Amino acid sequence: MNKELLKEIILEQREELLKKEFGIPRRELLRLSALLPLPQAVIISGIRRAGKSTLLGQIIRRHYAQDFYYFNFEDERLMDFGPKDFNVLYELFIELYGDQKTFFFDEVQNVSGWEAFIRRMHDRKLKFFITGSNASLLSKELGTKLTGRYINIELLPFSFDEYLDFIRAKSAYSTTKERAAIKKELNTYFEKGGMPEFLKYGNSDILKTTYENILYRDIAARYELKETKSLRELSLYLLSNPGTLFSYNNLRKALGLGSVNTVKSYIEYLENSYLFFIVNAFDYSLKRQSILPKKAYFIDPGLANAVSFQFSGNKGRYLENLVFLNLKRKNEDIYYFKTSAGLEVDFLIKKGKKVVQLIQAAWSTGDDSVKKREFKALEAGLKETKAASALIITYDDEGELSLLGKKIKILPIYKWLLEK
């Protein structure tokens, strides 16, 4: 690649970075700050436009001032950048900014062979912060070249408390007026989600473009898919049915796809791009677990609303999706559970080999049939899994009940989302 052009890009990118406003501190910033003294490379992965670059900027501003190297590989002028150019890039960094010890690389997976350069520099005791938007490529490359040399952190769109910070709203709910204000913002969050750029400008084309880029640039182009209609139909089906049980074969039949392997591959691509997360059934037999139906949850309600449908017709499923995303942010080991009688517990949380909590998500427990179903499933789940605790999360209901001698809390989702 042309050396002068590369130098120009380095200077431009750094100037833009240092002038940029980085908004509210992300919750992951505290965790990342604790990783600074460690020798491992830090990988920040997640969906496009979730704020990975902003988080890099927040780390730089808080801890590094001028003492760093920064480069964003998502620049159309870098089409000719190849593995051999990494050394030229390093030489230019030293020429421009002296001998620094910390690199910040944005969307590095766009260049093949990046992991070899990082391995070489890491062995020289240099520190890396790296972002990427494709889980499969990152894990494959990291696993072969950087085993034991990195720590991975997944960045999701704004959580509800980050959303409140972003719009400068209070998170208190001790008075009737405060609770009403919180629920008003929760309803907006249900609809708009937490993608930072969309919340800043309010233009739904931002979300639609993000979705199109994922489908066509991150998936179709990368995996050389000639026919994309089936991929789009599958993604729209999953967006419209969060938390619904599916099997690969049933999806194949419903969408008229060619084979079960095609469905498996497409879902893997969608998951690797962070558009969806797949949840397995919990079973003590791993073989049985692999063949049981699965669930899919989408990354952001605003994105789902922008490209599929309005959430008002599917409120319970959206609430369940928000519960999943909050569990994901807490790095929980998440499953669903089907009792021997066929009753479904929405979420089962495991730590090591122990089942520590069962969670049901229901819009309301006011309906007697809903109450009976949810409570019966929890009771059977507690018996069969020996879970230490259970919880019911609703839109607005609050209370407590006793099942098998355990006190089970019923919590409104806004309180659960704002728990510290």
Q: At 202, phi and psi to the nearest 5?
A: 70, 15
Give residue 58's pLDDT.
Answer: 96
Give residue 115's pLDDT.
Answer: 87
348 or 374: whose pLDDT is higher?
A: 348
Q: H-helix or E-strand containing 420?
A: none
The candidate with the shortest Cα–Cα distance to 371, out of 394, 349, 351, 350, is 394
Asked if residue 242 lies in contact with residue 321, where contact means CB atoms within 8 angstroms, the answer is: yes
Residue 375 and residue 294: Cα distance in Å, rounded? 22
Give the CA distances from residue 297 to residues 81, 225, 323, 328, in Å, rounded to whole numbers and listed in that order.
36, 24, 10, 11
pLDDT tens, 281-302?
A: 999 888 888 889 999 999 999 9
pLDDT tier at 258 (50, 70, 90 boundaries)?
A: confident
Give residue 110's pLDDT.
Answer: 83
Give residue 48's pLDDT.
Answer: 92
Is pLDDT of 116 > 60?
Answer: yes
Is pLDDT of 134 > 80?
Answer: no
Is pLDDT of 312 > 70?
Answer: no
Q: Quick one: what percent of the chain has pLDDT higher than 90?
A: 80
The candidate with the shortest Cα–Cα distance to 164, out of 197, 199, 198, is 199
Give residue 367's pLDDT.
Answer: 78
pLDDT tier at 182 (50, 70, 90 boundaries)?
A: very high
* CATH number, domain 158-315: 1.10.10.10
Residue 178 and residue 17: Cα distance in Å, rounded? 38
266 or 308: whose pLDDT is higher?
A: 266
**Considering the entire predicted model, what is its pTM?**
0.94
CATH superfamily, region 3-154: P-loop containing nucleotide triphosphate hydrolases (3.40.50.300)
Q: Tokens for 378, please give them.
A: 């929890």
pLDDT tens, 381-411?
A: 999 999 999 999 999 999 999 989 889 999 9
Is pLDDT of 96 > 80?
Answer: yes
| Residues 362, 163, 68: CA angle, nearest 5 degrees | 130
Average pLDDT over residues 366-381: 86
Is pLDDT of 325 > 60?
Answer: yes
The candidate with the shortest Cα–Cα distance to 281, out of 268, 269, 291, 271, is 291
Domain positions in the chain: 3-154, 158-315, 332-420
Is pLDDT of 264 > 90?
Answer: yes
| Start-to-end CA span in the chain (Å) | 49
Give residue 355's pLDDT.
Answer: 96
Q: H-helix or E-strand containing 242?
A: none
Is pLDDT of 100 > 70?
Answer: yes
